Amino acid sequence: MPISVPVPYAGSRPLPPYRALFAVDAKDFTGLPAAQHGPVSRLIPELVDQALTRADLSALRDTKRFPANTGDGMVFGFDPAFLPFVLWPFLHVLDEVLGAYNQQSVGPRIRLRASVHVGPLPDSGEPGDGNGTARNDTHRLLDSRPVKAILAAASEQVTHLAAIISDRVHEDVVLGAYTGLHPDRCVEVPATVEGKDFAQRAWLYVPSPSAGLVRAGVPARDEQAQPASHPQEEAPMRPGSRYQGNTQYVGEGAALMGDVGGDFNYTGHSTSYHGTNQHWGSGDNVSGDKRTGGNGERG
């Protein structure tokens, strides 16, 4: 039977059901020896399922929609009613599961990037289910510069997971206070992908920030939001930068997250600091390795 492809705007049709999406992929997967690709590819879904079970999300684990192994990770859809629990406690638990595995493993460390999104997707039990803009954007978020940069800059001994949450999920679930994930644990970033026509506002969440990430403004796991008792005095800064509170805005230039030293070069300027969330503008957030040049300058 021939497949009928709808003509855009030729008429109205029912909107597909909204499905939440979760995707992960492993840092430095392609750098592994070929013999390790298959075992690591099978291991990642096992670790995710283990975390779902420990987070009391067995119902989600058993009802994944259109799951797929992507080689260096996995993606699946699920009922959006689970979204608050995926953001908290599941991401927190997944980080703990990865940390426990990495501590005892004699093989390669498994450090993951994760993305969480939601949108209308076909889910009728037919081939092609789960394909659509929301699925594409989930993978673009996963491949975006900020989440790659933050995981590269963080300590591999401490930070095992970096998650990027779409603005739609953040607005509906986090700001809507349906989840235990506090907004002050999230860092606003412009999600862009090199070579792709993609740019969206998104939010980073790092369950276990290492020292440099905490210094840069990513809240520590047990840190609670505290109201300011008095306005903070403006700190002295170089020309082109200003601070007001605890939110960092990085325009053109670079935001260093993590302990740095060595071959990092920064030539931009114009940085401002405001509240408890961190906001990055355009430009790479981290480039080179995690070390400064000879003058010890930090962005």
DSSP per residue over 267-293, as a string? Answer: ----EEEESSS-EE-SS-S--SSSEE-
Mean pLDDT confidence for 248-260: 36
- Rounded mean pLDDT of the chain? 79
Digit-coded pLDDT (tens) for 122-158: 999 888 899 999 999 999 999 999 999 999 999 999 9
Cα 225 to Cα 173, 193, 250: the distances in Å are 18, 31, 22
DSSP single-letter state for residue 157: T
Mean pLDDT confidence for 244-254: 35
Query: Distance from CA of residue 254 to its chain's centroid?
Result: 18
Query: Bigger pLDDT: 276 or 125?
Result: 125
Burial of 227 (0-12, 13-18, 19+ CB in 10 A): exposed
* Residues listed for the chain: 299
Mean pLDDT confidence for 19-39: 92
Digit-coded pLDDT (tens) for 83-97: 999 999 999 999 999
Superfamily of 18-167 according to CATH? Nucleotide cyclase, GGDEF domain (3.30.70.1230)
Model confidence at 259: pLDDT above 50: no
**Per-domain boundaries in the chain:** 18-167
Q: How far apart are CA 6 and CA 125, in angstroms?
A: 19
Sign of CA dihedral 270, 272, 278, 281: negative
Model confidence at 285: pLDDT above 60: no
Of 36-45, 172-181, 205-214, 226-235, least confident by mean pLDDT is 226-235
Token duo for residue 268: 């931009």
Of 41-55, 134-148, 258-272, least confident by mean pLDDT is 258-272
25 half-sphere exposure, CB direction, 13 A CA radius: 17
Q: How far apart are CA 110 and CA 218, in angstroms?
A: 22
Read off φ and ψ for residue 35, nearest 5 degrees. Answer: -65, -20
Token duo for residue 102: 């990495």
Digit-coded pLDDT (tens) for 188-244: 999 999 999 999 999 999 999 987 676 655 666 554 334 333 333 333 333 333 333
For 151-269, strand residue ranges (E) read 161-166, 187-192, 199-205, 241-243, 247-250, 261-264
The reported pLDDT for the residue numbered 267 is 34
Model confidence at 121: pLDDT above 50: yes
Q: Which of 22-31, 98-107, 114-123 has the highest mean pLDDT?
A: 114-123
Mean pLDDT confidence for 8-25: 96
- Residue 59 carries which side chain, given as an amino acid letter? A
Query: Bigger pLDDT: 22 or 260?
Result: 22
Three-state DSSP class for residue 247: strand
The reported pLDDT for the residue numbered 216 is 57
The reported pLDDT for the residue numbered 117 is 98
Cα 191 to Cα 13, 38, 155, 278: the distances in Å are 31, 30, 22, 14
Q: Place 252 in a pLDDT band, splitting at 50, 70 and 90.
A: very low
Q: Residue 127: left if φ>0, alpha if ψ -120 to 50, beta else—which one?
A: beta
Mean pLDDT confidence for 29-40: 90
Q: Place 261 in a pLDDT band, splitting at 50, 70 and 90.
A: very low
Burial of 267 (0-12, 13-18, 19+ CB in 10 A): exposed
Tokens 């939601």 identify what position?
118
pLDDT > 70 fraction of the chain, expressed in percent and rounded: 71
